[in-house]
Structure 1
Amino acid sequence: MLVPLTTIVLIASLVLALVAGFYALRDRLVDDLLLLVAAVVELLLVVQAVVTVVMAPQVQTPGEGATMAAYALTLPLVPPALALLAIKEKSRWSMAAVMGGAIVVAVMTLRIQQIWTVHA
């Protein structure tokens, strides 16, 4: 259950990064499409956090389950912060920050998947 979910989250966060990168290149401001993609990523991250916290005790290596749960509980904080930044800061660089944050979400999601596949 966790690997397909993290794969979906990874794809959604990369889509957010691509949309934000496109907006940064075109010098566009935040709009409904970007916020919709960010909301989908947020919803997926909340689901991932719940599933990961439930499955974290199954990780056999000491400390890795707590690390996996901490990553999963931290990730849902990123998209709202990015959306707020994009709404408040009206520049190309806000879109670059959204893109960077989406890549951070993707990397941390890959780390959750790695912990699960190696240590569970």
Structure 2
Amino acid sequence: MIEPVTWTVVALATLLFLVAVVYAWRDRLLDDRLLALLALIEVGLLAQLVIGLFGLGDIDDSTEQATFAAYLVSLPVIPLGTGLLALKEKTRWAMGSLAVGAFAVAVMTARCLQIWTTYA
């Protein structure tokens, strides 16, 4: 994994979380800025997926290897799913789900880096 890309994804996901919470509080809907932020996060996650899967053999522990692979494969689905839900749902709960998805991306990406630096 590329550590600067990982920390950039964590920072962008944290920013998305905070903005989505503010949007939910103000009862605002998804706009182009949030979609652009989602796209940046998605590009970073796809880059990490490709790089991480190529380096999967460097992780010695098979349990952590399976966890790492599962996180890498499932991470790009989260922004897509929450983004589509936020586009279709026209209530403040759309921003709530976007905030939860962004928090999950930040935590799971940080965990991937923790596994990578410990075992690879």
Runs of 5+ consecutive residues of structure 2 not aligned to the other structure: none
1:103, distance to aligned residue in structure 2 (A): 0.2
1:20, distance to aligned residue in structure 2 (A): 0.8
Q: Distance in 2 between matches of 1:29 and 1:62?
A: 43
1:40, distance to aligned residue in structure 2 (A): 0.7
User: Which letter does structure 1 place at the counterpart of 2:13?
Assistant: S
Matches within 5 A, 1:32-71: 32-71=32-71
Cα deviations by residue, 1:70-120 (Å, 9 ceiling, x for unpaired): 211111011111111111111111101100110001111111011011111
Q: Distance in 1 between matches of 2:65 and 2:56?
A: 5
Task: Check the 8 A contact 1:17/1:100 in 2, yes or no.
Answer: yes
1:42, distance to aligned residue in structure 2 (A): 0.7
User: Hey, what does 2:108 align to over in structure 1?
Assistant: 108
User: Hey, what does 1:29 align to over in structure 2?
Assistant: 29
| TM superposition outliers: structure 1 runs of 4+ over 4 Å | none
1:62, distance to aligned residue in structure 2 (A): 2.1
User: Hey, what does 1:97 align to over in structure 2?
Assistant: 97
Task: Check the 8 A contact 1:86/1:94 in 2, yes or no.
Answer: yes
Runs of 5+ consecutive residues of structure 1 not aligned to the other structure: none
Q: C-alpha root-mean-square deviation of aligned residues, in Å?
A: 1.1
User: Which letter does structure 1 place at the counterpart of 2:6?
Assistant: T
Task: Check the 8 A contact 1:82/1:97 in 2, yes or no.
Answer: yes
Task: Check the 8 A contact 1:17/1:103 in 2, yes or no.
Answer: yes
Q: Distance in 2 between matches of 1:51 and 1:9?
A: 14
TM-score when normalising by structure 1 = 0.94
User: Which letter does structure 1 place at the counterpart of 2:78?
Assistant: V
1:5, distance to aligned residue in structure 2 (A): 2.0
User: Hey, what does 1:74 align to over in structure 2?
Assistant: 74
1:66, distance to aligned residue in structure 2 (A): 2.6
TM-score when normalising by structure 2 = 0.94
